[in-house]
């Protein structure tokens, strides 16, 4: 997870309205793919890391700094859909995502697909990456 946080950190402020997320995919102690959200908010970190991992992602574990999205505003496949389709065995997340595009929906989709989902690993280290994002989402929810 520390590697995922390190990948996300330089992208803070470069991803538009999207959060800067880091993702590392591991299997048998080997990194298969790693990425951060792209400039402007696309592509998402999970999407890029899965592309690097390819078929080897089946049965792997993804470490993601923020809950994978359940929906995408663009209508493209969400990160939780992509992780499930790749056959991940486990997804470990640092922080919850309060966005209407996630808000527990990503976690629910992964669990429904039979993927072990854990949340909270190194949350205190990752949370500062999302302070302004979470504050903005909190204002949206109150409106």
Say which residues have a Cβ less than 8 Å from residue 86's Cβ, sequence separation at least 6: 50, 53, 57, 58, 60
DSSP readout, 40-97? Answer: GG-S-HHHHHHHHHGGGGTT-EEEEEEPPPS--TTSSPPHHHHHHHTT-SEEEEEE--
Is 46 annotated as catalytic? yes
Q: Which is the catalytic residue, given 17, 34, 46, 123?
A: 46
> What amino acid positions are annotated as catalytic residues?
46
């Amino acid at each position: 997870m520390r590697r995922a946080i390190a990948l996300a950190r330089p992208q803070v402020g470069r991803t538009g309205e999207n959060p800067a997320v880091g993702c590392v995919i591991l299997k048998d102690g080997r990194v298969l793919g790693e990425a951060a959200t792209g400039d402007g908010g696309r592509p998402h970190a999970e999407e890029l890391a899965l592309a690097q991992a390819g078929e080897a992602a089946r049965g792997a574990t993804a470490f993601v700094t923020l809950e994978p999205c359940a929906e995408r505003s663009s209508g493209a496949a969400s990160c939780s859909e992509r992780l499930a389709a790749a056959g991940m065995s486990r997804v470990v997340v640092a922080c919850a995502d309060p966005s209407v595009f996630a808000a527990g929906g990503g976690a629910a989709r992964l669990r429904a697909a039979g993927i072990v989902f854990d949340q909270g690993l190194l949350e205190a280290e990752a949370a500062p990456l999302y302070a302004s994002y979470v504050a903005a989402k909190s204002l949206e929810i109150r409106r």
